[in-house]
Amino acid sequence: MIISGVHSIRMQKNPCCVKLSVQPSRGLVDEKFSILVQNTPPGFQVTVHALHHSEDGHDWEAFAHYTANNTGTVNVSEDPSLGGTYSGVEQMGLLWSLRPVPGNKPWLRMRKMNVQTPMEVTISVYQGHQTEGFTDQAPLAGVVVERWYMAPGVRRVPITEEGLTATLFLPSGPGPFPALIDLWGGGGQLVESRASLLASHGIAALALDYLTPKITVETGKMVENEYFEKAYKVLEQHPQVLGSRIAMLGISFGAVMTFKFAVYSEVIKLSCAVSVSGSHVQPIDGSVKQIFDYLIKNAGNTRINEENQTIWRDLLLPIPTDPAFKVDVGRLKCPLMLVVGEDDQNFPAPESAKDIKEMMERAGNSHLLTVLSYPNAGHLIEPPYTPHVRATNFVTVGSRQKVVALWGGEMVAHSRAQEDAWRKLLVFLRENLYGTNLGATSLSHLQRKGISWDPMPNGLVRDGLHLFYRTEVNS
């Protein structure tokens, strides 16, 4: 029987009735949960196991070994894992250490493409310290946990006007809301996960496909810069959007485009900009195609390691001195956040951040800059508890070449970076989009246990804002 995240099973050969509770059993993907195992004999050894069947048909698992205390209890939030896919006290380790079950295809990446359904994770308890064969055993107890990108009341609105391939996510409440254009990287597709999660935190977010949109599929031609400006105008003119408070967030190649429009566009006027694992290096007058051509021209700098993994970070190195090939961030007039993984093997994000900082210091606008720099974090810095993958299968846009791309990062450090960066990114966006006159809080507000699963009135205006570190932050 499953009630409110509690599931009990009596085993014939097991004298105890183990009780497992996961609270909350339904929440946002960036919300922490607590796992409690009770009613075992004192000193009883258990394995707590997580299993997720992904949308692309693959199984992912994580597990940890625990020993019950003298009251027959294991509290995953407080007790150390003695082994498994992670060790030590890690409240959310069963999510960020998820990995493909042995026998699956190699080099997989977990991505949620349908945000209108939850990510379901089965949490189970097994007797003893197990490392394999979980599907061949009966658990002592189990519960299914739902992890959502869309909070109750968030609205998903497909956008096709002006030839766009995009989805707008509107927060719960009447609005109007500050907004953001969300640009993913060089793999293309309409990726809605981050935009829907941002809307769950009170920011209207437009997920924009700019590499593989319908117009490109039909014509075979990459979009021009006007495509992005059309997206901005659609967002600006939406009745539930505060047109004077719009940001842009890009990861990887999406960050390249973010730099361009933040500085040079006469149409796009941003309240702030965020670059995750990006670079300002590009032909400054270039279109999407011309920037790709610039990268291809430097393809000779590609490296292949001993595991046949492709390393692309050198395509933009060394950082050019010619001003025609890097965005003049000294002209930037809005706050800018850089999120940098120091073990990024795909983009020269650390070198770019150093150059950006120096350029802005010379220009006198470094007060607008926030840099979050994380040792041993890789390229794919995503929302909290997303499983870390050091290398994955990747199909390049245009040539459709299939490679194994090396992203970098060490699992624990990368997972810490994702959690820390997301928390500070939300504060940065709220500070610059809502403004500090809407209430007082601090960074500690975002460190509390999760967020309310109840619908949030008028886009989290109650949360207000405060702070920011305009320095490098090490994890």
Neighbours of 302 (CB within 10 A): 14
Q: Which CATH number fits domain 155-433: 3.10.20.70, 3.40.50.1820, 1.10.530.10, 3.40.50.880?
A: 3.40.50.1820
Report the phi/psi class of residue 2: left, alpha or beta, with left for phi > 0 and alpha for psi in -120 to 50: beta
The pair of structure tokens assigned to 36 is 């409690």
CB-count exposure of residue 334 (10 Å: 0-12, 13-18, 19+): middle
Q: Is 123 helix (H, G, I), strand (E, B) or coil?
A: strand
Q: Please tell me the number of Cα atoms within 13 Å of 122 on its side-chain side.
A: 15
Which pLDDT value is given to residue 331?
97
Both structure tokens of 132: 């394999």
Taking a C-beta distance cutoff of 8 angstroms, is the pair 331, 363 a contact? yes
CA 428/CA 433 separation, integer angstroms:
8
Active site residue 136: no
Query: In the prediction, which pLDDT does 414 show?
Result: 98
Q: Identify the active-site residue in 8, 252, 352, 366.
A: 252
- The pLDDT tens digits for 295-339 are 889 989 999 999 999 999 999 999 999 999 999 999 999 999 999
List, edge to edge, every strand of the sheet that includes 272-276. 155-159, 166-170, 204-208, 177-183, 241-251, 272-276, 336-341, 369-374, 472-473
Rounded Cα distance between 227 and 352, Å, is 26
Which segments of the chain belong to CATH 3.40.50.1820?
Answer: 155-433
Query: What is the residue-wise DSSP string for 404-433?
Result: EEE----HHHHHHHHHHHHHHHHHHHHHHH
Q: pLDDT tens digits, the chain, 475 residues: what are they? A: 233 344 443 443 454 689 999 999 999 999 999 999 999 999 999 999 999 999 999 999 999 999 999 999 999 999 999 999 999 999 999 999 999 999 888 999 999 999 999 999 999 999 999 999 998 999 999 999 999 999 999 999 999 999 999 999 999 998 899 999 999 998 888 999 999 999 999 999 999 999 999 999 999 999 999 999 999 999 999 999 999 999 999 999 999 999 999 999 999 999 999 999 999 999 999 999 999 999 889 989 999 999 999 999 999 999 999 999 999 999 999 999 999 999 999 999 999 999 999 999 999 999 999 999 999 999 999 999 999 999 999 988 766 789 999 999 999 999 999 999 999 999 999 999 998 544 333 223 323 223 333 333 233 322 222 222 323 333 3
> 19-148 sits in which CATH class?
mainly beta
pTM equals 0.89
| Cβ contact 326:263 at 8 Å | no
Q: How many residues does the chain have?
A: 475
Cis peptide before 384 (omega within 30 of 0): no
Rounded Cα gap, residues 32 and 34, in angstroms = 7
To the nearest 10 degrees (0 to 180), the angle between helices 253-264 and 288-297 is 130
Q: Rounded CA gap, 443 and 1, in Å?
A: 40
DSSP 209: -
Annotation marks residue 379 as catalytic: yes
Instruction: Determine the Cα–Cα distance for residues 159 and 182; give it in Å rounded to an integer.
Output: 14
How far apart, in whole angstroms, are the C-alpha atoms of residue 178 and residue 244? 8
Tokens 């090396």 locate to 406
DSSP H helices in 78-124: 93-96
pLDDT of residue 463: 29
- Cβ 429 vs Cβ 145: under 8 Å: no
pLDDT tens, 84-138?
A: 999 999 999 999 999 999 988 899 999 999 999 999 999 999 999 999 999 899 9
Q: What is the strand order of the sheet 303-304 is part of?
A: 303-304, 310-311, 402-406, 391-395
**Residue closest to 350 by CA, chosen among 281, 285, 304, 398:** 281
What are the start and end residues of each CATH 2.60.40.2240 domain in the chain? 19-148
Q: Does the annotation mark 196 as catalytic? A: no
Please give the pLDDT value at position 436. 53
User: Catalytic residue among 52, 280, 379, 414, which?
Assistant: 379
Instruction: Indicate which residue of 182, 343, 344, 355 is catalytic.
Output: 344
Per-residue pLDDT, 398: 66
Q: Which residues, in sequence order, are CB contacts of 319 under 8 Å at separation 6+?
A: 281, 326, 348, 351, 352, 355
